[in-house]
Structure formats: C-alpha cells, structure tokens
C-alpha cells in the first residue's frame, strides 16, 4: 500500500509528514560517549530508528499506530510531539496538540496533586485562570478528591496516571496523541479514559493512538499505520492494515508455537488476579475425550466460558477459534452481536457458543477467550490458546473449511 495514501483528500489536513527519518548515534558505553564528546569525534555506530516515513492525517481522523517492539512507534510519536528532532524530512501540523505520553513524568514529587495541576497545566499551555476554572472538573474526573492535597510522591502509579490523564484531556485538543500509558490505570479508569477518547473522536478531534491492543485499534481508528523496522509497511483503512499485520503476527507466532505446543499451547491464567478483579474462570469445549490433544466428539462445537465480575455489571465475552499452527478462523463477541451473558450467581457470568455441524476439515484447533466490560471497550482478561482440541471431519476433503455453497 502506498505510504502517500490519503483517504480524505478534500478534508482539512492537520498533520503532514514527509520523508521523516531519525538516526540515533550509538556508543558502546557512557564512557565511550563521554570520550567522543571530549575528543569531538563521531559516534561508534549509527542506527536508523525511522526512515522515510510519509503520511497525512485529516481533521477528525483517528490513526492507529501499530508495529512490533522496536519498530519505531515511540520515536515517531516523540518526533510528532517535538520531544525529538528529526534527522531527515519534515512535519507540518496545525492546531493544539496534546500528548498522553509518559503520563505524569512532568509532575514534581514534592508538590501536592493540586499544585502539580497548575505546574503541569502551565507546561501544556493552560493559564492559571483557565486552570482555576477547570480544576474542579479535573479533580472529579481523576477521583482523587481525598488525596489531592497530598504530595505526589505519596501517590501510586495508578493515581499519577489518573491525575495526568484528567489534566491533559481537560481541554479538547485539535490533535490528541495516546500511547500505551493507559495500560497502567485500573480497569474502571481505563474504561473512563476510553469513553473520553471516544467523545473526543465523535467531536471531530484528530487522534493518533499507538497500541499493541489490536482490539482497541480496530474499535477506535479509521486509518492505521504499520511500522516495521522504522519504515512504513502499510498505511490505509484500519481493516486492510490490520489484516496484513495479523497475518504477519500469526506467522511470527507459528514460529514460536512449537515450544508452546508441548503443553497444549495454553497460556496460563494470570496468577496475580485478586478476588476483587474481574477475570475468566473457565473455558470448556463439550465432548472432549482423554487423548492429548483431546478429540472432539462433534458434530457441534460447543464452547462454554465462565467469568467472575465483582460489582454486578454484565460483562461481554469474546471467543476466537484458530488452527493450532496456522490461520485464524473466526472471532466472535457478545457485545458485537447484541447477545447478553447469563448471570450464574456468586458474581459469575457465562456464555455458551455453539457452531452447529462444525464445518471445519480435520485438524487441530485452538480456542482463546476474552472478557470485556459491558460495551466491549476494555479487555478485562484474556486466555490465549486456552484449549487445543483435535477434530476429525466426517468427510475427508482437503482445505480448511466447508463453506456454505451450492453447485450451479
Ligand atoms: N535513544 C536511543 N538511542 C539509540 N537507539 C534507540 C534510542 N531509542 C530507541 N532506539 C532504537 O530505535 C528503534 C525504535 O525504537 P522505538 O522505541 O521507537 O520502537 P517502538 O516501536 O516504540 O517499540 P516498543 O513497541 O517496544 O515500545 C529500536 O531499535 C530502539 O532500540
């Protein structure tokens, strides 16, 4: 896909990036760096973290920024916010830009939460008068009324994120940049953040959202940019870009799968989940025998998932079915299909998903399960490769799936 793709040519362009590159200088040790500075010599090596990146973003668009670790995402965001200077290329942008990067990093530990609002606010261009007007709303959103006059050094990391998010999103910017910082907050606060981001998006704010959560990229972003080795691998409508990226991720996973396959490929449920946190409880498939992996009796594939959700709100569930060492087959979620999970008592909820007369050909398959909040905005828990099973189709034919069809 061309990196010059612009799906909204006639709209107002807010960000235009052309031929952007960033080269880091690499020294083997801080001592070598010092030596080079003293002697005025060059660095030992160079590394291009970003190379020839071009794209444009129109008003109201939400861009998902994706890529493997080390692909150059943070470097691109730092260039966009002006924290780093580019080695090549240029960035043009109009309007107020707010970045939720390294949330709270600018706070002073000895100042109280309230003092830090004024301090941090001045850093993002809010006058003391504006801050006075916004202060009650910011404190209310952060839910830190009780501790706002304590020094920030006594805050937990989650409390700092709350204060910082409430501050930087108090005024709607023209461009909002968000990275994984949100993952630090608790589930309840993550949900509030995503709802606020959603409101900005609906109000026409331009957003750049950098995340490893493809679920949220899909939910929030209309266009996506996939960086690989510092270069644009794909840029365009989110569904197109994610389809290519997911194929790439599966190929990577398949390489690492052989080791996991020894224990059935299951990723263990998180042991650190406490009683008061929402979490999956069980994932089962009906009619499995005692083989390894177990053989499914069929003809229907019936998946049963249970979860515990303290607090009484109805969760949403997702189920993904994949070939054990290959491609994905289907992902389904209750909120997307207007289906409601069933209350089972003792704060437990369950769903049963049936694929009648399983139309898959013989092979090994794996099931992953996801637990979301009611609207499907926040992922509360996920059990990847929760279960692997074998299926022998009644009619042996090559291929992956028996599609509904007729001969003409
Ligand atoms: N200050 C630096 N000096 C030298 N190399 C750096 C520096 N910062 C980043 N890099 C390198 O640049 C490349 C891109 O890094 P970057 O942090 O932008 O990737 P990323 O896509 O954000 O990764 P992740 O998803 O792991 O956060 C990596 O190879 C990284 O090692």
Per residue in 139-170, pLDDT tens?
Answer: 999 999 999 999 999 998 888 888 988 998 88
Token code pair at residue 402: 């028996």
pLDDT value for 112 = 95
- Cβ within 8 Å of residue 289, ≥6 positions away: 295, 297
Give residue 70 CA to ligand 1 midpoint distance, Å: 5
pLDDT value for 75 = 93
The Cα–Cα gap between 370 and 22 comes to 38
Give residue 354 CA to ligand 1 midpoint distance, Å: 44
The complex's ipTM works out to 0.95
Give residue 302 CA to ligand 1 midpoint distance, Å: 44
Give residue 48 CA to ligand 1 midpoint distance, Å: 10
Which residue, judged by its Cα, is nearest atom 18 of ligand 1? 72
Give 345-348 contacts, CB < 8 A, sequence gap 24+: 346/308, 347/308, 347/309, 347/310, 347/311, 347/312, 348/281, 348/306, 348/307, 348/308, 348/309
Q: Which of 70, 181, 214 to mutate to test the pocket of ligand 1 (most atoms within 8 A of CB)?
A: 70
pLDDT value for 266 = 44
Which residue, judged by its Cα, is nearest atom 1 of ligand 1? 24
Task: For residue 344, give the H/E element and its range.
Answer: strand 342-345
Q: Which residues line ligand 1 (CB under 6 A)?
A: 24, 26, 47, 49, 67, 69-75
* Residues linked to residue 231 through DSSP beta bridges, in sequence order: 228
Q: Does domain 1-96+200-262 have CATH number 1.10.150.80?
A: no
Atom number in ligand 1 closest to CA 67: 21
Give residue 27 CA to ligand 1 midpoint distance, Å: 15
Q: What is the DSSP code string of 356-375?
A: TT--BPSEEEEEEEEEE-TT
3-state secondary structure (DSSP) of residue 110: coil
What is the DSSP-derived secondary structure letter of residue 36? H
Atom number in ligand 1 closest to CA 75: 18
Q: Which residue stretches of the chain have pLDDT < 50?
A: 1-10, 258-268, 271
With CA atoms as reference, report the closest residue to 135 among 162, 109, 117. Answer: 117
Left, alpha or beta for 19 (phi > 0: left; psi -120 to 50: alpha)? left
pLDDT value for 201 = 84
Atom number in ligand 1 closest to CA 76: 18
Half-sphere exposure of 154 (CA within 13 A, CB side): 11
Q: Which of 43, 50, 73, 227 to mutate to test the pocket of ligand 1 (most atoms within 8 A of CB)?
A: 73
With CA atoms as reference, report the closest residue to 15 among 95, 134, 121. Answer: 95
The Cα–Cα gap between 275 and 259 comes to 31
pLDDT value for 408 = 92
Give residue 26 CA to ligand 1 midpoint distance, Å: 12
CATH code for 279-391? Answer: 2.70.50.60
Asked whether the CA dihedral 356, 357, 361, 367 is positive or negative, the reply is positive
Give residue 318 CA to ligand 1 midpoint distance, Å: 33
Half-sphere exposure of 296 (CA within 13 A, CB side): 28
pLDDT value for 262 = 39
Which residue, judged by its Cα, is nearest atom 10 of ligand 1? 49
- Cβ within 8 Å of residue 4, ≥6 positions away: 54, 55
Domain ranges of the chain: 1-96+200-262, 279-391
- Give residue-wise pLDDT tens across range 292-319: 899 999 899 999 999 999 887 899 999 9
Token code pair at residue 392: 């022998």
pLDDT value for 229 = 94
Which residue, judged by its Cα, is nearest atom 24 of ligand 1? 69
Put simply, whether the predicted model's pTM sits higher than 0.80 gets the answer no
Give residue 106 CA to ligand 1 midpoint distance, Å: 21
Give residue 260 CA to ligand 1 midpoint distance, Å: 28
pLDDT value for 220 = 83
């Amino acid at each position: 896909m061309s990196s010059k793709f612009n799906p909204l040519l006639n709209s107002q362009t807010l960000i235009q990036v052309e031929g952007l590159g960033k080269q880091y200088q690499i020294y083997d040790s801080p001592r070598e760096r010092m030596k080079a500075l003293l002697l005025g010599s060059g660095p030992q090596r160079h590394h291009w973290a970003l190379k020839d990146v071009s794209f444009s973003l129109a008003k109201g668009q939400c861009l998902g920024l994706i890529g493997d670790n080390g692909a150059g995402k943070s470097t691109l965001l730092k260039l966009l916010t002006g924290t780093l200077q580019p080695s090549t290329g240029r960035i043009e942008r109009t309007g107020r830009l707010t970045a939720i990067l390294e949330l709270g990093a600018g706070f002073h530990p000895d100042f109280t939460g309230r003092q830090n609002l004024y301090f941090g606010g001045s850093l993002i261009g809010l006058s003391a008068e504006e801050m006075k007007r916004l202060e009650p709303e910011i404190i209310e959103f952060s839910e830190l009324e009780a501790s706002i006059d304590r020094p920030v050094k006594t805050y937990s990391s989650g409390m700092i994120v709350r204060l910082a998010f409430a501050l930087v999103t108090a005024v709607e910017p023209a461009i909002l940049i968000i990275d994984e910082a949100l993952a630090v907050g608790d589930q309840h606060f993550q949900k509030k953040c995503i709802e606020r981001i959603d409101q900005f998006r609906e109000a026409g704010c331009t957003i750049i959202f950098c995340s490893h959560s493809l679920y949220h990229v899909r939910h929030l972003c209309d266009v996506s940019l996939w960086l690989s080795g510092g270069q644009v691998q794909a840029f365009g409508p989110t569904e197109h870009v994610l389809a290519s990226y997911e194929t790439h991720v599966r190929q990577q996973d398949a390489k690492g799968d052989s080791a996991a396959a020894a224990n059935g490929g299951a990723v263990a449920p998180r042991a650190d989940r406490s009683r008061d946190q929402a979490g999956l409880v069980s994932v089962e498939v009906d009619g499995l025998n005692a083989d390894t992996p177990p053989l499914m009796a069929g003809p229907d594939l019936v998946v049963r998932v249970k979860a515990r959700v303290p607090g009484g709100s109805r969760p949403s569930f997702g189920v993904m079915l994949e070939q054990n060492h290959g491609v994905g087959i289907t992902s389904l979620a209750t909120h997307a299909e207007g289906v409601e999970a069933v209350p089972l008592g003792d704060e437990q909820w369950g769903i049963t998903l049936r694929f009648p007369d399983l139309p898959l050909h013989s092979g090994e398959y794996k099931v992953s399960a996801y637990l979301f909040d009611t609207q499907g905005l926040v992922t509360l828990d996920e059990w990847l490769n929760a279960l692997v099973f074998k299926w022998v189709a009644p009619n042996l034919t090559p291929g992956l799936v028996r599609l509904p069809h007729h001969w003409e």
